[in-house]
Amino acid sequence: MPRTWLLRLYPRAWRERYGQEFLALLGEGPLSPAEWLDVMRGAMDAWLSGESGAAAAPAPVAANGGRTMRLKALMACERRTAPVTVADGLLGAGVMVGLSLLLLLARRIGWPDGGKALAGLSFPMALVVSMPFWLMKGTPRRVQAAIIGGTLTILALIGVLSSLD
C-alpha cells in the first residue's frame, strides 16, 4: 500500500503542513503494529481535535532514512501523552474486574437472553471500558469516546447476533 494513502487519513491543513515530514518519517520499510496504531490514532485525533494545523513538530529523520523516533512524535496526540502510574493501573484493573463481574451477573438478575451474550463478552467489554485509565491515558476525550464507543458497539452487535437462535 502506498504511504501517501496513510497521509490522506489526515485533514488537509495537517497534510499541507506536515505531509513531507510524515512521509519521510514513514520511510520505505514495513510498519510495526504499534506504528500503524500510532498513525490511526493520530489521524483520528487530528480530525476530532480541530487542531489539525497545530500538530507537534516532526521528529528528525536520520541521514540513512531510518526512523529516529516512534511515529507518535509526529502525531498531534503525542503532546498530550501522560505517564501511567501504579494507581492508574490499579484503577483500570478495578474497573475491568468490576465491570466483568457485573456483566457476568446480568444473566442471573433477570436478563437471560441478553445476559448470555453479555456474559460471553464480559471480559472484552470490560477491557475496552478500562482503556482510558491506562492504555489511552492522555489521549483526548473525544478520541477515547470514538474508539471505545465504536468498539463497544461492534462487540454489542456481535453479542446480539450470537444470541439469536
Predicted TM-score (pTM) of this structure: 0.55
Looking from the CA of 134 toward its CB, the CA atoms found within 13 Å total: 17
Mean pLDDT for 139-154 is 89
- Domain boundaries, given as residue ranges, for the chain: 3-80, 86-163
Written as nine digits, the cell of 113 is 437472553
Radius of gyration for the alpha carbons in the chain, expressed in angstroms and rounded? 19
Chain segment 5-58, per-residue pLDDT in tens: 888 888 888 888 888 888 888 887 788 887 887 888 888 888 877 654 444 444
Helix axes 141-163, 112-120, angle to 10 degrees: 120
